[in-house]
Amino acid sequence: MLDRIITFALTQRVFVLVLCCALTGFGWRAMNNLPIEAFPDVQDVQVQIVTQMPGIAPEEVERSVTLPIEREMSGVPRQTQLRSVSITGLSIVTLTFADGADDYFVRQQVLERLGNVVLPPGLQPTLAPLSTAVGEVFRYRVDAPPNTPPYEIRAIQDWVIRPAIRIVSGLADVVSFGGSLKEYQVSVDPYQLKRYGVTLDQLANAVAANNANTGGGLLRRGDEALVIRGVGIFGSADDLTRVVVTARNGRPIYVGDVAEVSIGERPRSGIVAMNDGDDVVQGIVLMTKGQNPSKVVADLKLKVEEINSRLPAGFRLVPFYDRTVLVDHTVHTVVENLLVGAALVIAILAIFLRNLRAALIVATVIPLSLLAAFILMHSRGISANLISLGAVDFGIIIDSAVVLVEALMVKLALERDDTNPMHAGASWRLQALKTTATELGHPILFSKAIIITAFLPIFTFQRVEGRIFTPVTYTVSLDRKSTRLNSSH
């Protein structure tokens, strides 16, 4: 079989060149579409259930929220681990699944079971975004005009910037930090409550009942139908002040009679400081699991420029962390190593073989093998990162080509007879090449197979260790396979 392949490659050289051109084209396309990351994502398939219960002690959170969720989540298909954390006002239940589990399938299973959990009234558990520990790809702060209240900056972030950024393809969520939350605060005067005979429950119910719009059906007028609606949503603090709580002796008692209404801030438990700014608002952008960070950040930068052009005067998004900086450093390191390694290989071969053409022929195996490896990596969904590309060893890549070319040069030098006119033509050199390739084909093939077999135990790794070391073995094995084919050609 190997003899036929060698004979075909030597007799159909034009076809082999066409295959090399096709390999270059598909390899280049695969390289451009290959996800480029700084490091591999080693996190297990996880689903986190987050439930907020403000002001409640950890014991009550554990008893009322965490335990009911854990009981219901026991036995979810392909689940390997279930753990939880309960702190003041917050419950986080984390489910870990087996390798290969589909993220969307397990999230659907969790959502189906979450509907059966009985929790205290008013609690709404949610799933954490479909991201990972290395999903943070972008950070920015929101600059505003001087003397702008922190809650106004946070309002711009939450209601204008965050929804606009979330529409970028490949993003899981945008998390807001810093600033303060704007509130309409009703500061009750207990003496006025006693004076007018109003209770806190009456006041709270009145505020809640009057903050709503309602529909009144249709009013026919000839061939027209007019929609009737009642508008009751608060538009300002004055609207809240004029809400009627009750009536005494025919006189309405308003909220403004028993309380002071103002716009204020929700009590804060921390701040975000940066450089000389003691209180800034920042956004953290999380990428969806499995996306290409380079492409996602490139689209995100375009969206940031668009948002900056539409923000109110004085407001601006200022990025201060960008994953592509780390990716570019990684790519630069890998490319520099590849170029330096290729140059050293050509120089060493030219020195020892004393034939520049032979050195260049051997060196062509490097890009062809890498392009073929990129095609196979793309088909397997393996990203290009410092670990997977760092496994490229030029000595391993070109050893077969060096053995074959050196053996051919020795054979040509020893058997050449200038007095024989048959040794002056190309047919004799092709016959010598065929003989050399046939003799060395099987040893080269078995040497590659032995090296790949040595990596088989690493392919059995699972979980975190498998995600760290498996890309290395795939890259090395694919390079070995590609080198063998390119050396034969």
Which tokens sit at 303? 């969206």
Which tokens sit at 156? 């711009």
pLDDT at 487: 46
Is 4 a residue whose pLDDT tops 90? no
Calpha distance 369→481 (Å, rounded): 8
* 10 contacts 488 by C-beta, under 8 angstroms: no
Residue 99 phi/psi, 5-degree rounding, is -60, 140
Is 424 a residue whose pLDDT tops 60? no
Is 459 a residue whose pLDDT tops 80? no
Is 134 a residue whose pLDDT tops 90? no
Encode pLDDT of 94-115 as tens digits: 999 988 888 899 999 999 999 8
Q: Tell me the CA distances in angstroms from 208 to 9, 123, 202, 233, 237, one per residue in order.
A: 83, 18, 10, 10, 14
Is 121 a residue whose pLDDT tops 60? yes
* Residue position matching structure tokens 């929220």: 65
* Mean pLDDT score of the chain: 80
Which tokens sit at 401? 């080509």
Calpha distance 157→174 (Å, rounded): 10
**pLDDT, greater one: 207 or 369:** 207
pLDDT at 293: 83
Lowest pLDDT segment from 99-108, 258-267, 369-378, 451-460: 451-460
Is 486 a residue whose pLDDT tops 50? no
Encode pLDDT of 152-176 as tens digits: 899 899 999 999 999 998 898 899 9
Calpha distance 441→118 (Å, rounded): 69
Calpha distance 33→40 (Å, rounded): 17
**pLDDT, greater one: 445 or 300:** 300
Which tokens sit at 290? 């499995």
Sign of the C-alpha dihedral computed for residues 277, 279, 281 and 285 taken in this order: positive
For residue 214, what pLDDT band results from cuts at 50, 70 and 90? confident
**pLDDT, greater one: 323 or 9:** 323
Q: Tell me the CA distances in angstroms from 295 to 59, 156, 351, 434, one per residue in order.
A: 45, 26, 43, 47
Reported as type and span, the H/E element at residue 9 is helix 2-11
The percentage of the chain sitting over the pLDDT mark of 90, rounded to a whole number, equals 16
**For 16-135, where are the E strands, in sequence order?**
45-52, 79-87, 90-97, 126-127
pLDDT at 485: 46
**pLDDT, greater one: 130 or 439:** 130
Average pLDDT over residues 118-126: 88
Is 372 a residue whose pLDDT tops 70? yes
The percentage of the chain sitting over the pLDDT mark of 70, rounded to a whole number, equals 82
pLDDT at 107: 92
DSSP state of 183: E
Is 264 a residue whose pLDDT tops 70? yes
Is 67 a residue whose pLDDT tops 90? yes
Calpha distance 186→255 (Å, rounded): 8
Is 341 a residue whose pLDDT tops 70? yes
Encode pLDDT of 215-248 as tens digits: 878 888 888 888 888 888 888 888 888 888 888 8
